[in-house]
Amino acid sequence: MSPAATATAATSAAAASGPDAGAAYRYHLLRAATEQCQCNIPALNEAQRAAAEAQAQRTFALERLVLGSDEAAEVVIAAGGVEQSLAAIAARFETPEAFHADLARNGLDAAGLRHALRRELAFDAVMQRVGSRHSAVTDTDVQRFYELHAERFRTPERRRARHILITVNADYAENTRDAAHARATTLAAELQAAGDGTPAQRFARLAHRHSECPTAMEGGALGDIVRGQLFPEVDAALFALPAGSISAPVESQMGFHILLCEGIEPARALPLTQVRARIRAALERRRRRAAQKAWLDSIAAPAASG
């Protein structure tokens, strides 16, 4: 839900849980339909409708629980916030008529949507307020997390690579497996021999002329590669090459590849200074969610027993 609530004027959160519960629930159902199936309510099939109904019932019940709390009575929603949210939704349609027709198809009108949006803004405001009460994240907390999860803060080894692909296709004489292997072997030998320019320049020229991969237009450039991006056989061959060296032909399900490892960027640990802000934000999100969950549990228990 969007965080567009302020404590300035007009409608209280308690009033936002007014009598038009049907429109509010319909809004939850529409949101579930679009999130799960990317369609309106009437387009749902039977199974999709059941799943959307289940989600809508959960989110509507949670919203109703929150808006019925003492905390919600202290939250005030700016009148302009609802209109801003309404205008943002209407802007997705080409005309106002299309907007209102879509609402009607989903069992809503502008007044019902305003009511649902007011509830949504109130819900967000309450949850933000509750979440903001989490305990502060200290530098010690950040340091401890960094040390306990060091593996998360390593960049993997990267290799800048080029390749030439000779495909295997039994429908063409020059691309039978034996013919493709022979062509690839000849090209690999030519690349290993001395010639004009750097190895990368010679490789790029031959890739442009002979490679049957779209990367031929860029001289066979694959860019920076980390383990697991290529076919397993090709991946293993590339990460076994010293920097600046060229492989023998390597067979994959596509055909035969010749690889050039242009350079190697070793794996390295990111310094704490580089990831400190990211860790702090993650810990704050975690504590915010924990504070919200604890508060929801505290208000849900009396509601269930009542």
Contact, 138 vs 283, CB < 8 A?
A: no
For 178-204, the pLDDT digits (tens) are: 999 999 999 999 998 877 888 899 999
pLDDT at res. 62: 96
pLDDT at res. 79: 80
For 104-119, the pLDDT digits (tens) are: 999 999 999 999 999 9
pLDDT at res. 306: 57
pLDDT at res. 303: 63
Q: Per-domain residue ranges for the chain?
A: 11-132, 157-266
| Rounded Cα distance, 216 and 221, in Å | 8
Contact, 42 vs 132, CB < 8 A?
A: no
Res 81 pLDDT > 50: yes
pTM of the model: 0.64
| Rounded Cα distance, 274 and 285, in Å | 19
For 211-224, the pLDDT digits (tens) are: 999 999 999 999 99
Task: Tell whether domain 157-266 is in CATH 3.30.1240.10.
Answer: no
- pLDDT tier at 1 (50, 70, 90 boundaries)? very low
- Give the type of residue at 13: A
* Summary mean pLDDT of the chain: 90
Res 305 pLDDT > 90: no
**How big is the chain by its Cα radius of gyration, in Å?**
30
For 12-48, the pLDDT digits (tens) are: 333 334 446 799 999 999 999 999 999 999 999 999 9
Segment 87-101 shows an average pLDDT of: 96
For 237-261, the pLDDT digits (tens) are: 999 999 999 999 999 999 999 999 9
Res 302 pLDDT > 80: no
Res 4 pLDDT > 60: no
Hunting for tokens 């790029």 — which residue is that? 204
Res 6 pLDDT > 80: no
Q: 238-244 contacts: CB < 8 A, separation 24 or more?
A: 238/159, 238/161, 239/157, 239/159, 241/159, 244/199
Res 2 pLDDT > 90: no
For 119-163, the pLDDT digits (tens) are: 999 999 999 999 999 999 999 999 999 999 999 999 999 999 999
